[in-house]
Amino acid sequence: MKITDCKTFVVGNPPPHFGGQYFVFVKLITDNGIAGYGEVYSVPFHPHVVTHMIEDVFARQVEGTDPFKIERLWRIVYSSGFTQRPDTSILGILSGIEMACWDIVGKALGRPVYELLGGQVHERLRSYTYIYPEPDDKTDVYVDPDLAVQRALKYADMGFTAVKFDPVSPFTAFDPRQLSLEALDRAERFVKMLREALGPRCDLLFGTHGQMTTSSAIRLAKRLEPYDPLWLEEPVPPENAEEMARVARQTSIPIATGERLGSKYEFARLLTEQAASILQMNLGRVGGILEAKKIAGMAEAHYAQIAPHLYCGPIVGAANVQISACTPNFLILESIQDWGGFHAEILKKPMQWEEGYVIPPSAPGIGVELDEEVAARHPYEGQALHLDMHDQPV
């Protein structure tokens, strides 16, 4: 079997844009007609530039290759241009291509990917969601703890046993910063009110985005400890594992991170430095499914857990489900609410979500199929990137 063709899709994500402004999907086709889908996460260039990058990598290094030889292909693409380092651009493109190869392999063998990576361990996967705004909100759910409590109670009634929030936004190009007393008070009030309203029904996931200096993160953590959050996410920017480790040593709250990291090499540093005990790799950026499995194995040896990140499209979401189903040290899976809305519409058959849990599909490959007609009806015509940081200091 050989890979003979590649097609890309840049899909505009309609309002409210949960998961980003757009999704970049890749489809690989073999000489015997098997098609596999992958997704590229948040390469920092306009998505139509990214499609040219995908096509370039495909023409030079993927076309004509055997989709079963994933390790070989991974090393060749990773080493492209004498880089051989965790560059998120090439890793994002490699992730989408690698994911599509696994989809092809699973379909060729008639098995879900999780059965090819050690076999199913978890029959259902606990999930969480961010506390999201709704169209009729009178205030901002990201800064109004009363509204956040109402929304969290709604999610708990749906079956969620964990909710995530970031009351120290915005994140800016000039972070990390020292949080003001006002910001610290607001963050503490958020957690206190949510804990009092939810009690033991839900874990609280404090999802910051690297806004804080080390000292500020430690100050915040001391305020949050009495309310026992499950994690403090990316308390400092991801570029400095040593400083994140300083935060981890000063708090009883588990540190989670990983959405902006790429490859086993960056995650190995987190574990070596004891900077985090919950790893949040995004399979559309980290290097794909097999790379995530390797990271999960390293984490298992350190008694760390994985909680795959999802702020993108449902193909990455489906890959997250595959890796989580076969990983003993899986903790929890990020959902965008209940996997409905456009994330369901763009798939021929949506992911199965039941009362807070995702049920891994038994279909071969990654378990979902992109609805290409829906994708074609939603081209992305904007200029904004998937996510942008504020360009002024706070």
| CA pair distance 222, 231, nearest whole angstrom | 13
In one-letter notation, the amino acid at residue 247 is V
Run of H or E including 275: none
Whole-number pLDDT of residue 278: 98
pLDDT at residue number 210: 97
In the 3-class helix/strand/coil scheme, how is the chain assigned residue by residue? Answer: CCEEEEEEEEEECCCCCCCCCEEEEEEEEECCCCEEEEEECCCCCCHHHHHHHHHHHHHHHHCCCCCCCHHHHHHHHHCHHHCCCCCHHHHHHHHHHHHHHHHHHHHHHCCEHHHHCCCCCCCCEEEEEECCCCCCCCCCCCCCHHHHHHHHHHHHHHCCCEEEECCCCCCECCCCECCCHHHHHHHHHHHHHHHHHHHHHCEEEECCCCCECHHHHHHHHHHHHHHCCCEEECCCCCCCHHHHHHHHHCCCCCEEECCCCCHHHHHHHHHHHCCCCEECCCCCCCCCHHHHHHHHHHHHHCCCEECCCCCCCHHHHHHHHHHHHCCCCECCEEECCCCCCHHHHCECCCCEEECCEEECCCCCECCCCECHHHHHCCECCCCCCCCCCECCCC
Q: Is the peptide bond before 226 cis (omega within 30 degrees of 0)?
A: no
Q: What is the DSSP string of 143-191?
A: T-HHHHHHHHHHHHHHT-SEEEE-TTPPPBTT--BPPPHHHHHHHHHHH
Q: Which amino acid is at 121?
A: V
The CATH 3.30.390.10 portion of the chain extends over 3-110
CATH superfamily of 115-366: Enolase-like C-terminal domain (3.20.20.120)
- In this structure, which amino acid lies at residue 2? K
| C-alpha closest to that of 295 among 255, 332, 263 | 263
Residues of the chain with CATH 3.20.20.120: 115-366
Separation CA 106–CA 100 (nearest Å): 10
Give the tokens for residue 284: 């559309």
Q: What are phi and psi of 29, to 5 degrees?
A: -125, 140
Superfamily of domain 3-110: Enolase-like, N-terminal domain (3.30.390.10)
Residues 160-176: tens digit of each pLDDT: 999 999 999 899 999 99
pLDDT of residue 194: 98
- In DSSP terms, which residues pair with 203 in a beta bridge? 162
pLDDT in tens, 16-38: 999 999 999 999 999 999 999 99
Per-residue pLDDT at 236: 98
Active site residues: 209, 309
Please tell me the distance from the alpha carbon of residue 358 to that of residue 54, in angstroms, as a whole number.
30
Q: Give dist(CA 303, CA 249) in Å, integer.
A: 16
102: helix, strand or coil? helix
Length of the chain: 394
Q: Which residues of the chain have pLDDT under 50?
A: none
